[in-house]
A = this chain, B = another copy of it.
Amino acid sequence: MASNGQAEKVAEVEENVGDNGDTVTPWDVQSKSDKGIDYDKLIERFGCQRISDDLIQRIEKVIGQPVHPLLKRGIFFSHRDLEFILAQKEAGKPFYLYTGRGPSSESMHLGHLIPFVFTKWLQDAFDVPLVIQLTDDEKFLWKNLTIKETMKLAKENAKDIIACGFDLNKTFIFSNFRYIGQSPEFYQNIQLVAKNVTFNQAKGCFGFTESDSIGKIHFPSIEAAPSFSSSFPFIFGEDSNIPCLIPCAIDQDPFFRMTRDVAPRVGLHKPALIHSVFFPALQGAQSKMSASDETSAIFLTDTPEQIRTKITKYAFSGGQSTAEAQREKGANCEIDVTYQYLRFFYDDDEKLQEIKKDYTSGKLLTGELKKILIEHLQKMVADIQERRKKVTDETVDEFMKPRPLSYKY
């Protein structure tokens, strides 16, 4: 059983819109404030916990190294039952990582990288197996795409993910349209969840209506099932019950709130979670980057010139409108998209601190800040493109083949 003995109700969040007008569902994230989503209120509304400094120190003690900047800087900021996972590790007991992605009709963008960059770090730091779900079926159910199109997108997105550097020996990537047809155990766990969630509960969690398809209404059980290790008998053994930790953006939380409600009723561990904030669109923090709006995002396929143009033209500035005013008053880093992108992707802590100080004070101008980001992202994206070129269809097939994984506890 999971460590959290308190009753969690699947319908604890009956409304998908908070008092402050923030909407957060797996399919819609919107804020009415130019500061973006109020994460303190969201934590309260969802009933999860903020990651404390003490907890970060405990993590560092367990893994014997500093945590990743994405965690240190509060980008991964909230959790459920992370202490339970640490206690497992401290006791020499196993756990695994589960994350995923809905393969979209465009190339992956920078925002999509965040969970994978962080998950790769977790995998290395804890030396644990990882399963990655590509929800091609979700995209089929929600979008005007054929099954074959979504399966092709899943394969292409898998290449982007593999280019993040995952270890083949510790990582299983699967697409639902293929894997459900390869594993009776996965389908059995899907129905185990589906039996234990009513339409009313799904409506409370996800805002479904009676006009939604029965495919959509049933889908949450498909995202839930990989939380149970018995969905992967070739990795964990049949009838196994190994706890899992799910790194994801916080909009995915409703799936796992539902899963955590079901788990104890079917004698399985509740999945633990570690949540990230949303990666802002170039236009500002009111919404997350969108793959369907070309100008809102930097894609992994963008050229150095496209990256320069997009940041120069679109990145919302928290600085002043003239150089003189900026020198005098300085910038507001909280709403400055260029600074925020550096916060997500610039690993050098000291230098980032210096940049923040100088930009806030007015010593650094917006154009200069943008130059730093442009050069950083041009190199970062070029590196990913270089690695992706080496990912062949055969590599994808290797990652997607159901097989034992090698790892030690």
Among candidates B137, B141, B184, B218, residue contacting A214 with C-beta atoms closer than 8 Å: B218
Please tell me the number of chain A residues within 8 Å of chain B, measured between CB atoms: 38
Q: In the complex, how many angstroms separate the beta carbon of A25 from the nearest chain B beta carbon?
A: 16
Most chain B CB within 10 A, of A200, A211, A218, is at A218
Among candidates B181, B208, B220, residue contacting A183 with C-beta atoms closer than 8 Å: B181
Given A180-B184, A186-B181, A187-B181: A217 touches B214 (CB 8 Å cut-off): yes
| A:182-202 near B, CB below 8 Å | 182-188, 191-192, 194-200, 202
Question: In the complex, which residues of chain B have a beta carbon less than 8 angstroms from the beta carbon of A221?
Answer: 214-215
Most chain B CB within 10 A, of A178, A184, A208, is at A184
- Judging by beta carbons under 8 Å apart, are A215 and B194 in contact? yes
Q: In the complex, how many angstroms separate the beta carbon of A266 from the nearest chain B beta carbon?
A: 10
- Judging by beta carbons under 8 Å apart, are A215 and B187 in contact? no
Question: In the complex, which residues of chain B have a beta carbon less than 8 angstroms from the beta carbon of A209?
Answer: 199
Among candidates B203, B210, B215, residue contacting A203 with C-beta atoms closer than 8 Å: B210
- Judging by beta carbons under 8 Å apart, are A194 and B147 in contact? no
- Judging by beta carbons under 8 Å apart, are A185 and B195 in contact? no
Among candidates B180, B182, B199, B218, residue contacting A194 with C-beta atoms closer than 8 Å: B218
Question: In the complex, which residues of chain B have a beta carbon less than 8 angstroms from the beta carbon of A194?
Answer: 141, 213-215, 218
A140 within 8 A of B: yes
A341 within 8 A of B: no
Among residues of B, the one whose C-beta sits closest to the C-beta of A196 is B213
Q: How far is the CA of A210 from the CA of B185 in the complex (A)?
A: 28
Among candidates B147, B180, B218, residue contacting A180 with C-beta atoms closer than 8 Å: B180
A84 within 8 A of B: no
A53 within 8 A of B: no
Given A141-B191, A191-B147, A218-B215: A210 touches B198 (CB 8 Å cut-off): yes
Given A181-B180, A215-B221: A199 touches B210 (CB 8 Å cut-off): yes
Q: How far is the CA of A58 from the CA of B197 in the complex (A)?
A: 49
| A:145-177 near B, CB below 8 Å | 147, 177
A212 within 8 A of B: yes
Q: In the complex, how many angstroms separate the beta carbon of A14 from the nearest chain B beta carbon?
A: 14
Q: How far is the CA of A404 from the CA of B199 in the complex (A)?
A: 39
Q: In the complex, how many angstroms separate the beta carbon of A233 from the nearest chain B beta carbon?
A: 10
- Judging by beta carbons under 8 Å apart, are A217 and B215 in contact? no
Among residues of B, the one whose C-beta sits closest to the C-beta of A195 is B215
| A:124-152 near B, CB below 8 Å | 137, 140-141, 147
User: Closest 8 A-B residue pairs measured CB to CB?
Assistant: A181-B184, A194-B215, A218-B218, A180-B187, A195-B215, A199-B210, A200-B210, A214-B218
15 residue pairs A–B, Cβ–Cβ below 8 Å: A141-B194, A147-B191, A180-B180, A181-B183, A181-B188, A182-B184, A191-B215, A194-B218, A195-B215, A197-B213, A198-B210, A198-B213, A198-B214, A199-B217, A200-B211
